[in-house]
Amino acid sequence: MKIVRPHLSLKLIDLFPITIVLLILLIIFSYTPVFSQSEFTSENIKEFVGSLKLEGQFIKSLGLKEGGKVLKFEDPGREIKLPLGYYVIYRILLQDEASQFQAEAYLNQVIHINPFDPAPVLKAGGPLASSISIERDNDVLRIDYYLKDTQGNNYRLRKNYNDNPPNVSIYKNNGKIVSDKFRYG
């Protein structure tokens, strides 16, 4: 009995289509957009693949971090165009032109800009609600005033209180006991 082995004969031209397909797949799956430091600013982002939508009032400035880069967007509007990647929303500055108040919040919220998912939405800023926290430590009474947005983020007012310091009044049985002004600090 004779064993017959099949003879496989491939010519270089037979491998050409397979090589082309493999090269195309390699190029597609290894592509990563690269942005230089000079291109990565709020004014001149040349290429983007997604956006961050903003909901809320009074947003004057928004600070994002991506890797070692810091981006600051002044008067960002309702949408910011961004390259693909992960970002940390770290600072929001609110400003109302009519009352001249400024308030800021420091967040640590991570967002992902991905062309295959809907744009992330940052809900921040107004409308704001007043909030006061009071803590007692022996004979020290600490009173902190915050503004809270609809998502529960705390904003601290930015104002020079030496010009017009806040005041406080303490009442008992509908009668004022004492009233005074706080000095800043």
Do 110 and 152 lie in one domain? The reply is no
Which of 108, 123, 138 corresponds to the end of one domain? 123
Scan for tokens 């902190």, then name that residue: 144
Do 96 and 141 lie in one domain? The reply is no
Do 73 and 59 lie in one domain? The reply is yes
Do 118 and 133 lie in one domain? The reply is no
Question: By C-alpha distance, which of 31, 28, 33 is closest to 50?
Answer: 33
**Per DSSP, what are the bridge partners of residue 59?**
94
Which stretch of DSSP H or E encloses residue 98? none
In which domain, by residue range, is 143 found? 129-181
Which stretch of DSSP H or E encloses residue 150? none
The answer to whether residue 17 is domain-embedded is no
The answer to whether residue 171 is domain-embedded is yes
The answer to whether residue 77 is domain-embedded is yes
The answer to whether residue 38 is domain-embedded is no
What is the average pLDDT value for the chain, to the nearest integer?
A: 77
pTM beyond cutoff 0.75: no
Contact between 122 and 111 (Cβ < 8 Å): yes
Which of 123, 150, 169 corresponds to the end of one domain? 123
Range name among 114-123, 158-167, 174-183 with the lowest pLDDT average: 158-167
Say if residue 76's pLDDT is above 50.
Answer: yes
Do 146 and 174 lie in one domain? The reply is yes
Do 92 and 150 lie in one domain? The reply is no
Do 118 and 56 lie in one domain? The reply is yes
Do 119 and 133 lie in one domain? The reply is no
* Cα distance between residue 16 and residue 138, in whole Å: 83
The answer to whether residue 71 is domain-embedded is yes
The answer to whether residue 113 is domain-embedded is yes
Do 134 and 161 lie in one domain? The reply is yes
Do 55 and 85 lie in one domain? The reply is yes
Q: Which two tokens stand for residue 184?
A: 């800043």
The total number of structural domains in the chain stands at 2
Do 147 and 164 lie in one domain? The reply is yes
Say if residue 184's pLDDT is above 50.
Answer: yes
Do 61 and 118 lie in one domain? The reply is yes
Range name among 37-41, 47-51, 132-136, 152-156 with the lowest pLDDT average: 37-41
- pLDDT value for 133: 85
What 8-state DSSP symbol labels residue 39?
T
* Cα distance between residue 72 and residue 65, in whole Å: 9
Which burial class, exposed, middle or buried, applies to 8 when counting CB atoms under 10 A from its CB (0-12, 13-18, 19+)?
exposed
The answer to whether residue 58 is domain-embedded is yes
Confidence of residue 78 (pLDDT cuts 50, 70, 90): very high
Which of 123, 152, 167 corresponds to the end of one domain? 123
**Per DSSP, what are the bridge partners of residue 62?**
73, 92
The answer to whether residue 22 is domain-embedded is no
